[in-house]
Amino acid sequence: MRQQYGTQILGGILSSAVGSNTGNAVAQLAQTGFSFANLKYSRDNENEADYMGLIFAAMAGYDPQVAVSFWQRMAAGKTQAQSEFLSDHPSDATRIANLQKYMPEALKYYKK
pLDDT tens track of the chain, all 112 residues?
A: 776 777 667 666 766 776 667 766 766 777 666 666 666 778 888 999 999 999 999 999 999 999 999 999 988 887 776 677 667 788 889 999 999 999 999 999 999 8
Q: Which amino acid would we find at residue 15?
A: S
Task: State the alpha helices, DSSP H only, in 19-91.
Answer: 20-59, 66-76
- pLDDT given at position 11: 67
pTM: 0.65
Strand, helix or coil for residue 110 = coil
> Between the CA atoms of 68, 72, 75 and 76, what dihedral angle is there, to the nearest 10 degrees?
-170
* Closest to 75 measured CA to CA, from 52, 95, 104: 95
